[in-house]
Structure 1
Amino acid sequence: MSPRSTAWGAYAQIANVLRERIETGAFPSGELLPSEVRLSDEFHVARNTLRRALALLEAEGLIESLPGRGRVVRADQERGKGASGPRLPQFRRIASEIRAAIESGELAPGEALPSEAGLSARYGVSRGTARQALADLASAGLVEPVHGKGWFVRRR
């Protein structure tokens, strides 16, 4: 068996980079994203890994697929909305609230975060959703897990 060539959760890290490029205007509204092949080469991942990242951004309403053309950045007023209104995934909402608490100083560096079970109870979500929110924050470098102890705000 050969070792993995990409890290677990690489698609989430790629999605974070692409999301940042969209939010900063590096990929302006209405612009086609680079091709899957080009992005796969840039991030040194298989196309399936890249497709997972793009699917995440599409689920968030940041991009949309146009058959025969590619993926395009949605206009600012259309972002995060689908036919039935806002489509922000629950884990993103949870991660966003925790991020705000960290950035405001409400959660200090080194401070313990609520457990997965605690987040599940507070937000009425599964532990998997809570875990995904924590993993999203970890990929952004804001929190870190300590084996057997829980999740903590990363010291800078």
Structure 2
Amino acid sequence: MSTFSDPNAPSPAVVKSDEQWKSELSPEEYQVLRQAGTERPFTGEYWDSTTEGVYACRACGAELFTSREKFGSHCGWPSFYAPLADGTVRYLHDSSLGMERVEVRCATCDSHLGHLFEGEGYDTPTDQRFCINSVSLSLRPTDA
């Protein structure tokens, strides 16, 4: 069952002009986070990371996912079976590229993170795969 955000949901807490985002993000970060781009598979920093910690939005620092929900989907991007908590991400219908998908965005700054896929048969508690671009995330490792 797909979850879509409430169209009456509050506006993002972090709002910046396009010029501000361009000055704060690298060209690759800007292209993915603000223009809904996608990094190439198997090239991102976290696609196969097993480091324990919290994954935050690279644009605003909001905590989004943890390593506890990360799993190896072998798709080339970091995969999570659930976000850190309800309300940390929001969902939008995405019919770009001739496909019907669910886009995942940061609820705090409305940055593009990736997409949500369901029913793929992964052995996870939710049977969901949050396929997230590494460039959209910053990992805050758990202190050993």
TM-score, normalised relative to structure 2: 0.25
Q: Which has the higher strand share?
A: 2
**Structure with the greater alpha carbon radius of gyration:** 1
TM-score, normalised relative to structure 1: 0.24
Q: Which has the higher helix share?
A: 1
Q: Tell me: higher relative CO, structure 1 or 2? Use CA pairs within 8 A at least 6 residues apart.
A: 2
